[in-house]
Amino acid sequence: MCGIVGFTGKSNAAPFLLDGLSRLEYRGYDSAGIALLNNGEIKTEKTVGRIKSLIDKTENGKTVDGFLGIGHTRWATHGAPSVENAHPHTSTNGKFAVVHNGIIENYLSIKEKLKSEGVIFSSQTDTEVIPHLLNKYYDGDLALTVKKVIDLLEGSFALGIICSDYPDTLVAAKKFSPLIVGISKECNIIASDVTAIASTTKDIIYLEDGEFAILTPNSADFFGNDGKKIDKEISKITWDVSASEKGGFDHFMMKEIFEQPNAVKQTLSGRIKSGEVVFEGFNLTAEKVKNIKRIVIIACGSAYHAGIVGKYVIEDMTRIPCEVDLASEFRYRNPIIDENTLTIVISQSGETADTLAALNEAKRLGSHTVSIVNVVGSSIAKASDDVIYTLAGPEIAVATTKGYSTQIAVMYLFSAWLSKKLGSLSDEEIAAFLENVKALPQKIEETLKQNEFLSEIAKNQINTNSLFFIGRNIDYAVSLEASLKLKEISYIHSEAYSAGELKHGTISLIEEGKTVIALACFERLSDKLLSNIKEVKARGAYVITCTTNGNDTFNQESNEMIYVPDVDRRLIASVEVIPFQIYSYYVSLHKGCDIDKPRNLAKSVTVE
Ligand code: F6R
């Protein structure tokens, strides 16, 4: 949630700040602002709405001069989206300006104290206490003051700070919220996400929790938790900037849908060797695997849906009981976890607050933790005992597509890896399964060819206000994801139901013209699903059925048919989800919704 940037250099800061904020806008987009220091004075500009209004207001940065600046794009948590609540926030005398990602949990008590000392607040945010605290404790030494203030803050923060007494100094501080420093000859910069940095420099430094940095155009000094100077290692951004641009597509979501064959290929690449799966540097030893009695998968949203696919595949291949839990429920439930439980957490961003907290809780209870994460160096990746990166590249559209597809690809690899270690399947069975996994990028490519047909049938849904997805087994797991995709970007209410469960109450909602989308690729359950389709059809439903090429079981009972390639049924989610990503995209497009930035959402949910 929210995005922050900062710049200190030998040229105007505004171009970097505005470009960086545009690249970070997917993280939060209800208001934005920048603050620049010029001639000893900090000037702020803020607007409600998208970065575009800030760009317009500042005439593309021309009205704000200065070689030092910070910027923020906001996803409101404390206080409504408004100019007053937009960052940067400043101290009353204008000496300090601050941008903040995260939540200051003890802000109310600090605010009350500051108010009793006469400080007047101009926003409802938690963040505003920070510039006032900086001003209160400032004794002429910026580094010491920052240290004193961050020690008073509870909760999570990534901070960018400037002070009018220091005309070229940018301060960055981090605790439980991502923050990256970019180093170059022309400037030193900060951002909450590498996408804002990659077009300026490939040399980056990840700040760790409790650390802060003092940057000038010619120097970068880093300080540890104890306030002492530390050395930091420079890492390289490995992907190209074009990976975070639209590349000829109208929307990031469609670009990312079409990137899926390659993203899955990358994720598999180098991990299947001589008919088995290899995870380099894994700490989960064969001996530990033998002691696993139970697997718990924890995640949120689409990552949780990827976990449900994983449960079906893991249980089928390993016969180890596997549960899938919502991170936000798990962490507050007094969960039953011990050293014989393997915990798998799934997160595209690697920064989802609930997932991170659940991971830490599982670790505390003695479980070995494996994370499946896309963003290298993210908090979840760092906190887990083992990490398997999904290698999807940057995902910008708020609605995940390639993130989900690569997560389920890792689930297949992990299931095969576990099966081998446990001996639950023969080497031949594992090798045959992996051959099918290797064929998935090609199968996904074939599925993408239905683009135009899906656009046509999506037109019928633009006036629908509610519909159902039904399925059984992995078809049901995919229904959950298909339904979420549709509702989050088209704002059509949609529910995914296990097909056999509908008649236990919800079927009362089926009436003439109600759309029911049946996912029916599991031919072992075809008869059962056909009966469920007949039940809704008899009550007037408009039925769209998705099944595998060549299966004509459902034609008679369906108003529309969608076909996907015939693959090993354990892998069906990889092809079956594709038409529904595209379908959701087109429903949203035909309705005129904001596809890449749906209302009320943000890409990375770093608050509870
Ligand atoms: C939906 C979507 C969200 C995320 C969820 C978890 O399209 O993207 O439901 O899947 O917020 O995010 P990560 O995977 O970053 O932990």
Instruction: State the pLDDT confidence band at 230, using cuts at 50, 70 and 90.
Output: very high
Q: Is 556 exposed, middle or buried (0-12, 13-18, 19+ CB in 10 A)?
A: exposed
Can you tell me which atom of ligand 1 is nearest the CA of 403?
A: 14
Tell me the average pLDDT across 600-608: 73
Tell me the average pLDDT across 514-530: 92
- Total structural domains in the chain? 3
Instruction: Give yes or no: residues 14 and 150 share one domain.
Output: yes
Report the DSSP pairing between strands 341-347 and 272-273. unpaired
Tell me the average pLDDT across 219-225: 96
**Residue of the CA atom closest to atom 16 of ligand 1:** 347
| Best of 298, 300, 373 for a ligand 1 pocket test (most atoms within 8 Å of beta carbon) | 300
Which tens digit of pLDDT belongs to each residue from 28-39? 778 999 999 999
| Residue 246 forms part of a structural domain | no
Instruction: Give yes or no: residues 472 and 432 share one domain.
Output: no
Catalytic site residue 300? Answer: no
Residue 157 has φ and ψ, to the nearest 5°, of -160, 145
Instruction: State the pLDDT confidence band at 455, using cuts at 50, 70 and 90.
Output: very high
Instruction: Give yes or no: residues 476 and 375 share one domain.
Output: no
Q: What CA–CA distance (Å, rounded) separates 10 from 186?
A: 6
State the CATH number of the domain containing residue 86.
3.60.20.10
- Write out the E strands in 472-553: 493-498, 515-519, 542-548
Tell me the average pLDDT across 147-157: 95
Instruction: Please say if the pLDDT value at position 524 is more than 90.
Output: no
Instruction: Give yes or no: residues 261 and 301 share one domain.
Output: yes
Return the number of other C-beta atoms located less than 10 Å from residue 512's C-beta: 8
| Residue 496 forms part of a structural domain | yes
Which tens digit of pLDDT belongs to each residue from 275-293? 999 998 899 999 999 999 9
Instruction: State the pLDDT confidence band at 1, using cuts at 50, 70 and 90.
Output: low
Domain final residue pick, 408, 438, 468:
438
Of the residues 46, 174, 265, 603, which is catalytic? 603
Instruction: Give yes or no: residues 401 and 459 share one domain.
Output: no
What pLDDT shows up at residue 602? 74
State the CATH number of the domain containing residue 380.
3.40.50.10490
Mean pLDDT over each residue of the chain, to the nearest integer: 94
Catalytic site residue 421? Answer: no
| Residue 263 forms part of a structural domain | yes
Instruction: Give yes or no: residues 307 and 388 share one domain.
Output: yes
For residue 261, give the amino acid letter: P
Instruction: Please say if the pLDDT value at position 386 is more than 90.
Output: yes
Is any ligand 1 atom within 6 A of the Cβ of residue 405?
A: no
What pLDDT shows up at residue 193? 86
Stated as kind and residue range, the H or E segment containing 64 is none
Tell me the three state secondary structure of residue 420. Answer: helix
Tell me the average pLDDT across 19-47: 91
Instruction: Please say if the pLDDT value at position 141 is more than 70.
Output: yes
Instruction: Give yes or no: residues 219 and 279 share one domain.
Output: no
Domain final residue pick, 175, 207, 240:
240
Is any ligand 1 atom within 6 A of the Cβ of residue 300?
A: yes
Tell me the average pLDDT across 59-67: 94
Is any ligand 1 atom within 6 A of the Cβ of residue 379?
A: no
Cβ atoms of 490 and 439 closer than 8 Å: no
Residue 107 has φ and ψ, to the nearest 5°, of -65, -30
Instruction: State the pLDDT confidence band at 77, using cuts at 50, 70 and 90.
Output: confident
Return the number of other C-beta atoms located less than 10 Å from residue 601's C-beta: 18
Nearest of 247, 156, 128 to residue 604 by alpha carbon: 156
- Joined tokens for residue 490: 């088209």
Instruction: Give yes or no: residues 149 and 264 share one domain.
Output: no
What pLDDT shows up at residue 18? 96
Tell me the average pLDDT across 257-270: 93
Instruction: Give yes or no: residues 393 and 476 share one domain.
Output: no
Give the predicted TM-score (pTM) of the model: 0.82
Instruction: Please say if the pLDDT value at position 240 is more than 80.
Output: no
Instruction: Give yes or no: residues 292 and 168 share one domain.
Output: no
| Residue 82 forms part of a structural domain | yes
Is any ligand 1 atom within 6 A of the Cβ of residue 581?
A: no
Q: What separation in angstroms does the CA of 68 have from each of 41, 93, 97, 188, 334?
A: 11, 19, 11, 10, 48
Domain final residue pick, 405, 438, 471:
438
Instruction: Return the residue matching tokens 């059809």.
Output: 537
What pLDDT shows up at residue 185? 95
Instruction: Give yes or no: residues 520 and 554 share one domain.
Output: yes
Report the DSSP pairing between strands 515-519 and 466-471. parallel
| Residue 603 forms part of a structural domain | no
Instruction: State the pLDDT confidence band at 378, using cuts at 50, 70 and 90.
Output: confident
First to last CA, the chain: 11
| Residue 596 forms part of a structural domain | no
Instruction: Please say if the pLDDT value at position 607 is more than 80.
Output: no
| Best of 193, 302, 395 for a ligand 1 pocket test (most atoms within 8 Å of beta carbon) | 302
Q: What CA–CA distance (Å, rounded) separates 426 from 554?
A: 35
State which residues form the domain around 145.
Answer: 3-240
**Residue of the CA atom closest to atom 7 of ligand 1:** 399
What pLDDT shows up at residue 265? 94
| Residue 604 forms part of a structural domain | no
Is any ligand 1 atom within 6 A of the Cβ of residue 606?
A: no
Instruction: Give yes or no: residues 361 and 479 share one domain.
Output: no
Cβ atoms of 55 and 84 closer than 8 Å: no
Q: Which residue has better confidence, 3 or 426?
A: 426
Instruction: Please say if the pLDDT value at position 150 is more than 80.
Output: yes
Q: What is the DSSP string of 195-245?
A: GGTTTT-SEEEEPPTT-EEEEETTEEEEE-TTS-EE----EE--S-GGGGS
Q: What CA–CA distance (Å, rounded) separates 501 from 471?
A: 10
| Residue 288 forms part of a structural domain | yes
Which tens digit of pLDDT belongs to each residue from 541-598? 999 999 999 999 999 999 999 999 999 999 999 999 999 999 999 999 999 999 998 8
Q: What CA–CA distance (Å, rounded) separates 374 from 383?
A: 14
Could you tell me how many residues make up the chain? 608
Cβ atoms of 577 and 482 closer than 8 Å: yes
